[in-house]
Amino acid sequence: MLKRWFSTLHVFGRELVANPRQVGAACPSSPVLASRIAALVGRQSDGYVIELGAGTGAITHALLSAGVPATRLVPVERSERLASHLRRRFPHVGVRHGDACELAQLATELTADGGGHVSHVVSSLPLRSLPPADVRRILDAVSRVLGDRGLFIQYTYSVRNGTESADRLHWCGRSVVWLNLPPARVDVFATQPSTAAEFRRTSGWDAPATDLATA
Ligand SMILES: C[S@@+](CC[C@H](N)C(=O)[O-])C[C@H]1O[C@@H](n2cnc3c(N)ncnc32)[C@H](O)[C@@H]1O
């Protein structure tokens, strides 16, 4: 257990030194942050769960523990080193070494021939340090690939100012996780206003006073 933790920190640290802007975090996600996110997905994942920027797999692990089937979980990671680490850690999961900018193509491939739908996109991407054109492309693809009841879950390290607005997505709510280094804020978005309203009624998360979506 301790050995795996050190090995995870080692692989994360090497990637951080090599690509600080792409990694965008000082540490892997804490188990508390990972399970806060996974609890949202595990309770209602009936489609593919695409995890963008899976890194060392802290959230991947929590999603599997929350009941997301390995066959429905698709971690995407741009770093070759981290993608190899993920494949070793989760040999039964179809890890993709690739760019989140290719999300639309990935979803088309997964759902071709009526092979299901994408119910969740979970993102650890450092949106504030990625090129703005990439961020627009990724958020645009998120709103297109998610089904009617789909949810997009993104966390940031800015506890006060999260990701409240995303094109064509409706902000459902936020939750701050203090037990993470640094503390993180998780924001949830839905493609449909009715799904956002249901989330606010049932999740117990802090809800926005008004829907800030730009739809
Ligand atoms: C904050 S770290 C991930 C933390 C992860 N939850 C963990 O516990 O290790 C962000 C990850 O996003 C990956 N990343 C950054 N830009 C990406 C992109 N365009 N496509 C896919 N992955 C990307 C980085 O390589 C890094 O592994």
The domain spanning residue 41 has which CATH number?
Answer: 3.40.50.150
Contact criterion met (CB below 8 Å) for 173 and 153: no
Split into its structural domains, the chain has a count of 1
- State residue 88's pLDDT score: 96
**How far apart are alpha carbons 153 and 129 in whole angstroms?**
18
- State residue 166's pLDDT score: 66
Q: Which residues have CB under 8 Å from 176's CB, separation 6+?
A: 159, 183, 184, 185, 186
- Nearest atom in ligand 1 to the alpha carbon of residue 28 is 8
Task: Spell out which residues line ligand 1, taking CB within 6 angstroms.
Answer: 12, 22-25, 28-29, 52-53, 55-56, 58-59, 76-79, 82, 99-101, 124-126, 130
- Tokens matching residue 22: 């792409």
- Nearest atom in ligand 1 to the alpha carbon of residue 55 is 27
- State residue 165's pLDDT score: 62
Nearest CA to ligand 1 atom 2: 23
CA of 19 relative to ligand 1 center, distance in Å: 10
User: Does residue 112 sit within a domain?
Assistant: yes
- State residue 37's pLDDT score: 96
User: Does residue 24 sit within a domain?
Assistant: no
- State residue 47's pLDDT score: 94
User: Does residue 7 sit within a domain?
Assistant: no
User: Does residue 16 sit within a domain?
Assistant: no
Torsional class of 55: left (φ above 0), alpha (ψ -120 to 50), beta (otherwise): left
* Phi, psi angles (nearest 5°) of residue 204: 80, 5
- State residue 67's pLDDT score: 94
- State residue 114's pLDDT score: 76
User: Does residue 4 sit within a domain?
Assistant: no
- State residue 84's pLDDT score: 97
User: Does residue 166 sit within a domain?
Assistant: yes
Nearest CA to ligand 1 atom 16: 22
Answering whether pTM is above 0.85, one says yes
User: Does residue 123 sit within a domain?
Assistant: yes
- Nearest atom in ligand 1 to the alpha carbon of residue 12 is 9
Residues of the chain with pLDDT under 50: 210-215
User: Does residue 214 sit within a domain?
Assistant: no
Domain that holds residue 115: 29-203
